Amino acid sequence: MKIRLGVIFGGETVEHEVSIISAIQAMNKIDQEKYEIIPIYITKDREWYTGDMLKDIEFYQDLSLIKRYTENVVLYCDNGRYVLQKKGGLFKRVVKEIDIAFPIVHGTNVEDGVLQGYLQSIGIPFVGPNVYAAVVGQDKAFMKDIWNEAGLPMTKYVWFYDSDYKRDSEEIVKLVSKLKYPVIVKPATTGSSVGINVCDNDEKLIEAIDEAVQYDQKIVVEELVQNLKEVNIAVMGNYEHQKVSEIEEVLSANKFLTFADKYIGNGKGKLKTSKYAVKTSKGMASANRKLPADLSKEMREKIEEVAIKAFKALGTSGNSRIDFLIDENSNKIYINEINSIPGSLAFYLWDAKDVDFTSVLDEMINIGIKDYKKRISKTHSFDSNILQGFAINGGIKGMKGVKGKLR
């Protein structure tokens, strides 16, 4: 009997379209002999839909087709069954039942613990990081504070809230003055290089912060690595076991890898879906890269060691991509950030180690099942007579006196 796999993607995020690309790439590589693939698409206005047409990239060129040809559903637990139930109409029938959820989502409101929290609250097994790891993996301020405490090599940084900046921008400029120009300004919780800018003076800093606060409440500013080489590595596993992929060098004409570098640049290939072949971006698989990266044995081993420590420090799970910066003059490495659910699921980094995408996806699902078994083996509730004691000591009747005092 096949495992019913609910692949969740989309959502209210600036990386909505990137998530669609990643999910369709994955759905075309999941072992269909082993899994029944059930696509679950979350629109930008947070409505959930399911239907086989959602596996086809061409379908998204006209989003009005979604309401016409797919089912608007809600996911909930029904006596131990995890069901997608039709949302509208008189007869709210069950459309599909799933055994495990596979979020292939990027950015705020989905990758950052919001979706994981819902899945965990209804009790369904799911692939990837749990709530806590998803939160710190998306928030660059939290992430850097944790890694700093763990003693991992990082560039100097500061972070602040948008309200602090709006209240006293001069104080924020003074805070940033602890760093050396040039600096890079980032919204703390967005991905795909959205809202990121490099500054080499106070005037440009203000402009960059003005843009960044449009995307986030929390802003990170860090020193820019000179003579930069950017390399990425994927880590697969959980807090108990980890393994690393090949390391890539990302090539860009810019001072950092931009959204266009990642998702538009070389996206001239064809992504095959069902009976269609449509010109579209290949996601992170389309970025210019040198794979494997040209690194010394010592440098390679150091990156692998730091990557595993960073993965464990955040307590993440599944398949994460961790990005590093190298100053080629000093030969120093700096950990930059983690992508808990990376674009294209970083399959190309494993492919370079002769691990095909289908095997990567299967291993991710197996890790998700193991994480679920560990989670339910722990005690999360216990019998208590608190409510009984409350009833004995007045219960609802006793509340009348309390209400009187509150008035």
Q: Answer whether the bond into residue 292 is a cis peptide, omega within 30°.
A: yes
Three-state secondary structure call for residue 189: coil
User: For residues 147 and 116, what is the distance between their CA atoms, to the nearest angstrom?
Assistant: 22
157-161 vs 197-199, strand pairing mode: unpaired
Residue 393 in domain: no
Does one domain contain both 281 and 344? yes
Q: Which of 173, 170, 145, 165 is nearest to 217 (CA)?
A: 165
Burial class from Cβ neighbours inside 10 Å (0-12, 13-18, 19+) for residue 200 reads exposed
Question: Can you give the pLDDT at residue 267?
Answer: 43
Cβ–Cβ under 8 Å, residues 268 and 279: yes
Residue 292 has pLDDT above 60, yes or no: yes
pLDDT in tens, 97-154: 999 999 999 998 999 999 999 999 999 999 999 999 999 999 999 999 999 999 999 9
Distance CA 52, CA 56 (A): 8
Residue 403 domain-assigned (yes or no): no
Q: Is the pLDDT of residue 53 over 60?
A: yes
Residue 354 has pLDDT above 60, yes or no: yes
213 and 336 share a domain? Answer: no
What's the CATH code of the domain at 74?
3.40.50.20
Q: Are residues 367 and 230 in the same domain?
A: yes
> Is 293 among the domain residues?
yes
The β-bridge partners of 48 are 42, 73
Provide the terminal-to-terminal Cα distance of the chain, rounded to the nearest Å: 61
Residue 239 and residue 103 share a domain: no
- Residue 230 sits in the same domain as residue 214: no
Please choose, from the candidates 191, 242, 247, the residue with its C-alpha nearest in 3D space to the C-alpha of residue 216. 191
Q: Is the dihedral of CA 301, 303, 307, 313 positive or negative?
A: positive
Residue 172 lies in a domain: yes
**Residue 275 pLDDT > 50:** no
**Both structure tokens of 135:** 């939160």
* Model pLDDT, residue 30: 98
For residue 281, pLDDT beyond 60: no
Q: Is residue 248 part of a domain?
A: yes
- Name the residue among 143, 161, 136 with its Cα closest to residue 217: 161
Query: How many domains does the chain divide into?
Result: 3
**Of the candidates 20, 232, 368, which has an alpha carbon nearest to the alpha carbon of residue 28?**
20
> CB–CB of 192/106 below 8 Å?
yes
> Which residue type sits at 211?
E
| Boundaries of domain holding 271 | 137-142+146-150+226-372
Residue that finishes a domain, picked among 223, 248, 271 = 223
- Secondary structure (3-state) at 363: helix
Same domain, yes or no: 173 and 279: no
Instruction: Look up the CATH number of the domain holding residue 167.
Output: 3.30.1490.20
Decide if 17 is inside a domain: yes
In the chain, what is the greatest distance between 2 CA atoms, to the nearest angstrom? Answer: 75
Residue 384 within any structural domain of the chain: no
As given in the structure block, the two tokens for residue 222 are 């860090």
- Residue ranges of E strands in 201-287: 218-223, 228-237, 242-250, 270-273, 276-279
Do 265 and 361 share a structural domain? yes
CATH number of 235's domain: 3.30.470.20
Question: Is the same domain home to 47 and 169?
Answer: no
Q: Average model confidence (pLDDT) for the chain?
A: 89
Beta partners for 232? 248, 323
248 and 338 co-located in one domain: yes
Domain identity same for 200 and 235: no
Does residue 332 belong to any structural domain of this protein? yes
Mean pLDDT on 264-285: 43
Q: For the beta carbon of residue 299, count every other beta carbon within 10 angstroms.
A: 18
The DSSP output letter for 13 is: S
User: Do both 250 and 347 map to the same domain?
Assistant: yes
Q: Tokens for 76, please give them.
A: 């909930």
Whether the Cβ atoms of residue 48 and residue 65 lie closer than 8 Å to each other:
no
Nearest to 18 by CA among 192, 183, 181, 206: 192
Separation of alpha carbons 358 and 335, rounded Å: 29
pLDDT digits (tens, 9 = 90+) for 191-242: 657 789 999 999 999 999 999 999 999 999 999 998 999 999 999 999 999 9
Q: Which of 306-310, 326-330, 396-400 has the lowest mean pLDDT?
A: 396-400
Q: Are residues 230 and 367 in the same domain?
A: yes
